[in-house]
């Protein structure tokens, strides 16, 4: 029997390593056409070649795409290219993430780098892909979030954390924002904490974790149209649980959208 994912088109951001790479592999193995995003064209192509060489996946099911999320102009170009080439997008997996650096760092767009890469770039990408995403039943956005969102507060008066910077607090803020964004009514979206996994972000959490492939299984399950979802739901691995209170607060959702529109240069 064909997989429910067969014939569906899925864009996975940050898919050159870790959970993103394993998510792309598992989706393609189930017959989905995977748009594999990397920071550079070289990284995306290398990951695509590696995936095809080390699995049973046909080359026709994986397409490399590139955009540096530290540059919002590249995010816009990525979105326009996807809409042009894939006017029907079934799933967007917002997975790309970085650990906030030790020193406070602003992007060329003027945003704290973890806030931009982990949240604002995905906010902009989702907004620009909304028309392609909202068509078919089962169409959805899956935000790869973190249990650390529970420790966070969005610094409304200083979202760039210029006055007081902490690496962990900056990372947690970006994950809370991504989790709040799942409740946005524009598209059907959920968030998932895939567990603590052996990826490039492990240093944020501790010393050991599950394999990236295990973490990816929880993401892939939510991409499957056979898995029913409720907009704004939050999953800790495979279990639906309540997120931080802010993530379901209407006022916070509206306030975050207003802030994000301002920071990505869009007016609501």
Residues with a catalytic annotation lie at 171
Q: Which two tokens stand for residue 166?
A: 């902490």
Quote the CA–CA distance of 162 and 91 in Å, as a whole number. 35
Q: How far apart are the first and last CA of the chain?
A: 45
Q: Are 264 and 257 in contact (CB under 8 A)?
A: no
Beta bridge partners of 35: 11, 63
Q: Are 195 and 214 in contact (CB under 8 A)?
A: yes
Quote the CA–CA distance of 248 and 191 in Å, as a whole number. 12
Which has the closest alpha carbon to 95: 65, 71, 117?
117
């Amino acid at each position: 029997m064909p997989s429910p994912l067969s014939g569906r088109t899925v864009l996975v951001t940050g898919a050159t390593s870790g959970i993103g790479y394993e998510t792309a592999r598992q989706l393609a193995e189930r017959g989905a056409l995977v748009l594999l995003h990397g920071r550079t064209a070289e990284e995306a192509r290398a990951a695509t070649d590696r995936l095809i060489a080390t699995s049973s996946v046909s080359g026709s099911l994986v397409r490399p795409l590139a955009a540096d999320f530290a540059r919002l102009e590249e995010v816009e170009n990525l979105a326009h290219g996807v809409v042009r080439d894939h006017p029907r997008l079934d799933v967007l997996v917002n997975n790309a993430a970085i650990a906030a650096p030790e020193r406070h760092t602003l992007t060329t767009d003027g945003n704290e780098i973890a806030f931009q890469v982990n949240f604002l770039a995905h906010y902009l990408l989702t907004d620009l892909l909304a028309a392609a995403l909202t068509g078919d039943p089962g169409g959805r956005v899956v935000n790869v979030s973190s249990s650390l969102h529970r420790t966070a507060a969005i610094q409304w008066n200083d979202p760039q954390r210029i006055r007081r910077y902490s690496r962990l607090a900056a990372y947690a803020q970006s994950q809370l924002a991504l989790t709040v964004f799942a409740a946005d009514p524009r598209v059907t979206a959920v968030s998932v904490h895939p567990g603590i996994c052996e990826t490039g972000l492990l240093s944020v959490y501790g010393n050991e974790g599950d394999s990236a492939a295990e973490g990816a299984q929880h993401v892939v399950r939510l991409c499957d149209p056979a898995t029913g979802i409720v907009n704004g739901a939050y999953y800790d691995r495979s279990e639906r649980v309540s997120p931080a209170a802010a993530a379901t607060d209407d006022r916070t959702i509206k306030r975050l959208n207003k802030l994000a529109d301002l920071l990505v240069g869009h007016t609501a």
